[in-house]
Amino acid sequence: MSDLTLHYHPLSSYCHKVLIAVDILGVELQKRLINLGDPAEREAFFALWPTGKMPLLVDRGRPIPETSIIIEHLQRHHARRACALIPDDHDAALTVRLWDRLFDLYVMTPMQAFTADLLKPEGDRDARSVARAGEGLKTAYAMIERQLEGRTWIAGEAFSMADCAAAPALFYAVTYVPLSPQHGHLSAYFERLMAHPSVAATIEHARPYFKFYPGRAGLSRRFFDPTGV
């Protein structure tokens, strides 16, 4: 039995980020699906990590939080030989870490604002906040479009931690703010991400849960067919 346990939920974009990395790095671990709606599970998880945020890696009893830290920890201590998502070159590593943060802050965060609003009672929803989130995503799309010119992946020619962040962030973001014809590089990048074996495997694992996703109306039929629920 592995000394590593990943506490996760298959719908979570941040969990997808780590699951993609786990697959690429070839890490063997136990996956524990957490139901925060269960009072006992919730209490136990918050006792383990007080913020209650997923995913959470536990390595020999030590909690390792935050997706980027989890991925770097796995690469340093548990990855298969020659498997890496953060390059050794310092400048290249900074570029990867920069774009990892940009996707987390400027794509995942506004995307989650849409989801959070849909989870509210209809009378409590905030159209202005949602509009601001939409404008934020459009700004991020334009920034990513410029970065992708002449690049296969977001930080260069190698798939990196930044692409692990990009895949789930964009997967869910486009359900709320679709890409437009002016996003040619970004649209092609999105398709490369979706075709990547580790991304595709993560999405396939999540597929049975998409019926619970608040923004499922915006999911492409190739990922979710509401008539098949």
User: Cα–Cα distance between 178 and 218 in angstroms, integer?
Assistant: 8
Give the chain's domain count: 1
Q: Examine residue 46 and state whether it is found in any structural domain, yes or no.
A: no
User: Cα–Cα distance between 180 and 187 in angstroms, integer?
Assistant: 8
Identity at 25, one-letter amino acid code: L
Q: Examine residue 54 and state whether it is found in any structural domain, yes or no.
A: no
Q: Examine residue 18 and state whether it is found in any structural domain, yes or no.
A: no
pLDDT of residue 1 exceeding 60, the answer is no
Q: Examine residue 180 and state whether it is found in any structural domain, yes or no.
A: yes
CATH code for the domain of 116 = 1.20.1050.10
Q: Examine residue 6 and state whether it is found in any structural domain, yes or no.
A: no
Cβ neighbors of 180 (< 8 A, separation 6 or more) are: none
User: Cα–Cα distance between 202 and 18 in angstroms, integer?
Assistant: 10
Residue 189 lies in domain: 90-197
pLDDT of residue 78 exceeding 90, the answer is yes
Adjacency order of strands within the sheet including 56-59: 30-33, 4-8, 56-59, 62-64
pLDDT digits (tens, 9 = 90+) for 6-34: 999 999 999 999 999 999 999 999 999 99
Radius of gyration of the chain (CA): 18
Q: What is the pTM of this model?
A: 0.96
pLDDT digits (tens, 9 = 90+) for 117-153: 999 999 999 999 999 999 999 999 999 999 999 999 9
